[in-house]
Structure 1
Amino acid sequence: MSTSPYADRPWLALYRDGQPTDVEPEFANLLDMVEDAVRRVPDQDAIRYFDGRISLAELDAAANALAAALQHRGFAVGDRLALFSQNHPSYVIGMLAAWKAGGVAVSVNPMYKQRELGHLLRDSGARALLCLDEVHAVAAEVLADSGHGVDIVITSSGRDFQTRNDPRVLPDREMTPLPHAVALLSLLTDHAHQEPVHVPAARPDDPAFLVYTSGTTGDPKGACLTHANLVLNARNYREWMELSSHDAILAIAPLFHITGLVGHGVLSLLLPAPLVLGHRFHPEVMVELVREHRPTFTVGAITAFTAMVGLPGVGPDDFASLTKVYSGGAPVAPTVADEVEAVLGSYVHNAYGLTETASITHLVPPHRRAPVDPDSGALSIGVPIPSVRARIVDASDQELPPGQVGELLIAGPQVAGGYWGRPDATATAFPHGELRTGDVGFMDADGWFYLVDRLKDMIIASGYKVWPREVEDVLYGHPAVREAAVVGVPDDYRGETVHAFVSLRPGAVATETELVAYCRERMAAYKYPRAIGFVDELPKTASGKILRRALRRGGGT
């Protein structure tokens, strides 16, 4: 009889003798995957954007036209197309066109300013740029300088592909013109019914996407994700989240982020299933999209769900179609998970992954609830999915037994081969092909994994280690606290001291003295916060992660 911690656990049926089985990609590359979907159900909706609908056949034809237009302008095999866009149909058309022309797509955060965009274009060596009108001003500043290498510029409007404008996400604004740029819709008209010149089929290990890290240390680095990385992990979403072509996907996460790219964009084309886009995240708009399009699946940061369920007058009836809900990209406190479930009507399953792992590596399986560690109070991130080799190691990279805290290391076919043009950074982050995640956690005796915090966020107070997440989880238990973030600040006596930032629920009142006392009653003396700052909103990334580094630099917004 197997002594594996995974024995007799049916949700881990894809494991054999406690070891994850290798899963082969169904398709050699992403285009084979898309062509299979178009062949099977050409008239099915591929994208729903407000009141606009694009079928799989129409999406494929648009991507063919854009690929032909790119090639006509000199775009060649191996060239990079940067996508500077919100959750808009042009993003999906652009990535498909890049692959059809034999190139590589590059994700660009639409919140980037001149310095950040300039770095990304130079670092990726992008030949072409597709951008929305709302970021023209930033693009114009960058393109006016030499050294970026971009000689093909294509623009699109947020109003393209739909007729009903929502002023909350598509306000009227004066657009900065981009010299020598051509409109996407014009290219699709001029090259309608054309197909790109034949290029060699992409191999599984060929680059498909450069997805840039958030740049928490230094400039962002481009994780080089292959066709096999993306096809394989889209399949893992489908199999482990029990999805099919009968589902519809609500794109809560931004497509430029790894969760949105794989868990929304690539997944929708694999199933295939309609992808419901709403330009950018706005809680009221997202709820309206759920009511109108009745999506069944989504994955996003827990902060997105708390914003949606916190709207006045919403309840389980509004979200009745969303029966398969996952949270990734940011930690989840147990009390917050319970509060979201009460309004959403569905249990929010945890999922974990990184840019460098092409999204998910761990998740809470369907029909299961994540256990809560009795000592740390952490909610489990789930169990490893097939092909993932996950282990917890100490400072000497020696594997630790269940229950002991160390750094999480991950290997498997989902893991990127490294960073684009960064051999030194690749060698540091991917020793022997195994990713050092920088996340600290442990595995329990039943094989569930838990995260404690990020290595870089650990606070040393009077020689003791303090993990911000533990303090944050306690603060989330206070009825007045809506969001919380904890950082270490210099202290002459303690070295570092614990400082918390909180935003309160609408209409709630709490004092610093009250919250400090609340924490003091619930944790060791060296852990509780010595100071608490109140902010209206905590700073966040576009994917919903709270930016502790911004708080260290001077507070919230």
Structure 2
Amino acid sequence: MSAKPWLAHYGEGRPAELTPDHETMLDLFNASVARAPSTEVIRYFDGVLTLAELDRASDALASALLDRGFAAGDRIALYLQNNPAFVIGLVAAWKAGGIAVAINPMNKHRELTYLLADSGASALLCLDDLYADVGRAVVASGGTDVRIVITASALDRQHRIDPRLFAHVTKPVIEDASDLETLIEQYDGRTPPPVAPSPDDVAILTYTSGTTGVPKGALNTHRNLAFNAQTYRDWMALTPDDRILGVAPLFHITGLVGHVGVALLLPAPLILAHRFHPGVVLDAIREHRPTFTVAAITVFISLADQPDATADDFASLTIAYSGGAPIAPAVRNRIAAATGLNIHNIYGLTETNSPSHGVPYGASAPVDPTSGALSIGVPVFNTDVRVLGEDGEEVPVGEVGEFAIRGPQVVPGYWNKPDATAESIPGGELRTGDVGFMDSDGWFYLVDRKKDMINAAGYKVWPREVEDVLYTHPAVREAAVVGVPDEYRGETVKAFVSLRPGSSATPEELVEYCRANMAAYKYPRTVELVDDLPKTTTGKILRRELRSSR
């Protein structure tokens, strides 16, 4: 089965293949510094960092790390929110010949200990409050190799302090760690010895639990990251005149590539706001007028639901993409009506360094007439996708199977886990665990995760299809569907629903609505109304938490 029919949809004259300008992130960064040193590359509230200033600050940090025994191939963990410190630490890691390790700032003692120990990180750059609450005890426990600790403050690099995020934040003096800004000042003007990483050297480890639940460090290489930063640029027709709204967490692959990588490549300003707070981000949109963003659909829902938001607020965002979770057509249409945003779908994984598929900019994703699913797009540059059945063989066009992806953005494996690599990436082809199909025109549709399928009396029910129907109800804000035990059917369908502000609906009404709009074996037998659905920091709804509460 060929994935090439999509070429007809991408637009006449647009290339099928991408020839990268840069093969390493450090080459990409250095080229931008040489080309446009005065370009603003970070806007953090009222603080600004130019490329030249980022270059100088990362030189200073890299020099400080090397002075403290950091060596080529060593790992530095970045335990931060969406702050300038993350970008400074990332570039400094490369200049010191090292590897960054991206860590979710929501992780607690057990999780941080595992990630630091598994990665073998010798250095830790973290927010001062995270160090006080979690990091200090982890380092002191002796269960990791960390010997260099550097802290940063959420207040660094800004002057106008937003009370919604920082009302109780102060910058303490931490005796058992070095302060990032102090180090940068002490080493200002120092440059580390030049390094030339190979395209196949690891640039950053990003941890994914995958289908087993055991955290695995994906080996995101310089080539992987640089290729897909350029994919974003060319697929979405981005230029240095654009401004990037950085709402995806920077520790997540979407934020790393779709925000940081793109900003360093173009170069263009990356607008950061510490963490996602819809009111704060809405103000940042009004102030900085971003033109491009990529975010989970829940981010767009939250922004659209702000009581004082208007379509004029979003007028500058002419290029808006959503990834991380499927989009129901009804949700896309509702956001468009409230904000004027034309949300394009994008699909990828940690192991594909963000996009493997995307809706071409300016195109309208089709809706499958049978399932009602909105297309996730077509394979991006230089990427081949197969749809495989249970036997590992390709299935015919239109049939559901597992996506298997091969391309220059696919990671070579997992950190110190050869068995997991062999199982998930045999022969360099990623087995995603996501199921869907390709239509006769080459558009791809995501059905669901393999593990989320519900078996109701022998019938397969995909939660995504039930959720899409629920989203067409005018009172539904968010929905998640899981399987629950049933004495008669073995397993049956349950929906968790949060309602839109000012709307009302009973569980019985929602059950009846679904029953009238889908086959009898698919509709939810029970609906539970909740104020909010549990989500990851990237905005993806956590079905597993709902299963555990059922």
Taking structure 2 as the reference length, what is the TM-score of the superposition? 0.97
1:300 equivalenced with 2:291 (yes/no): no
1:332 equivalenced with 2:327 (yes/no): yes
Q: How does 1:20-419 map to 2 (within 5 A)?
A: 21=17, 23-136=18-131, 137-173=133-169, 180-199=176-195, 201-214=196-209, 217-419=212-414
Aligned twin of 1:523: 518
Aligned residues: 548
Cα displacement string for residues 266-317 of structure 1 (whole angstroms, at most 9, x for unaligned residues): 1100000000000001111111111101110000000000100111121111
Aligned twin of 2:454: 459
Secondary structure, in 3 states, of the residue corresponding to 1:356?
helix
Report the Cα distance in structure 2 between the residues aligned to 1:486 and 1:169, rounded to whole angstroms: 33
Report the Cα distance in structure 1 between the residues aligned to 2:492 and 2:10, rounded to whole angstroms: 45
Secondary structure, in 3 states, of the residue corresponding to 1:185?
helix
Q: Deviation at 1:13?
A: 4.8
CA contact (8 A) 2:6 2:378 kept: no
CA contact (8 A) 1:25 1:228 kept: no
Report the Cα distance in structure 2 between the residues aligned to 1:189 and 1:420, rounded to whole angstroms: 34
Q: Deviation at 1:170?
A: 2.0
Report the Cα distance in structure 1 between the residues aligned to 2:289 and 2:70, rounded to whole angstroms: 39
- For the structure 1 residues 228 and 12, does the alpha-carbon distance in structure 2 shift closer, same or farther, using more than 3 Å as the test? farther
Code of the aligned partner of 1:149: D
Report the Cα distance in structure 1 between the residues aligned to 2:335 and 2:509, rounded to whole angstroms: 25
* Structure 1 stretches of at least 4 aligned residues deviating more than 3 Å after TM superposition: 6-10, 12-15, 173-179
Structure 2: segments with no counterpart, 5+ residues: none
Q: Deviation at 1:179?
A: 5.2
Q: Deviation at 1:492?
A: 1.9
2:488 to 463, 484, 493: 493
Report the Cα distance in structure 2 between the residues aligned to 1:426 and 1:251, rounded to whole angstroms: 31
CA contact (8 A) 1:71 1:197 kept: no
- For the structure 1 residues 174 and 279, does the alpha-carbon distance in structure 2 shift closer, same or farther, using more than 3 Å as the test? closer
CA contact (8 A) 2:3 2:384 kept: no
CA contact (8 A) 1:14 1:386 kept: no
Q: Deviation at 1:178?
A: 5.4
Report the Cα distance in structure 1 between the residues aligned to 2:157 and 2:172, rounded to whole angstroms: 21
Secondary structure, in 3 states, of the residue corresponding to 2:166?
coil
Q: Deviation at 1:400?
A: 1.3
Secondary structure, in 3 states, of the residue corresponding to 2:69?
coil
- For the aligned residues, what is the CA RMSD? 1.6
Structure 1: segments with no counterpart, 5+ residues: none
Higher mean C-alpha deviation, range 421-430 or range 505-514: 505-514
CA contact (8 A) 1:459 1:497 kept: yes
CA contact (8 A) 2:211 2:433 kept: no
Secondary structure, in 3 states, of the residue corresponding to 2:313?
coil
Q: Deviation at 1:133?
A: 1.8
Q: Deviation at 1:147?
A: 2.1
Q: Deviation at 1:176?
A: 8.2
State, as a whole percentage, how many aligned pairs show the same letter.
59
- For the structure 1 residues 176 and 55, does the alpha-carbon distance in structure 2 shift closer, same or farther, using more than 3 Å as the test? closer
- For the structure 1 residues 485 and 176, does the alpha-carbon distance in structure 2 shift closer, same or farther, using more than 3 Å as the test? farther
CA contact (8 A) 1:85 1:110 kept: yes
Report the Cα distance in structure 1 between the residues aligned to 2:39 and 2:183, rounded to whole angstroms: 24
Q: Deviation at 1:175?
A: 7.7
Aligned twin of 1:5: 5
Secondary structure, in 3 states, of the residue corresponding to 1:97?
helix
Cα displacement string for residues 46-86 of structure 1 (whole angstroms, at most 9, x for unaligned residues): 10000000110000000000000000000000000100000
Secondary structure, in 3 states, of the residue corresponding to 1:169?
helix
CA contact (8 A) 2:438 2:444 kept: yes
Code of the aligned partner of 1:536: D
Taking structure 1 as the reference length, what is the TM-score of the superposition? 0.96
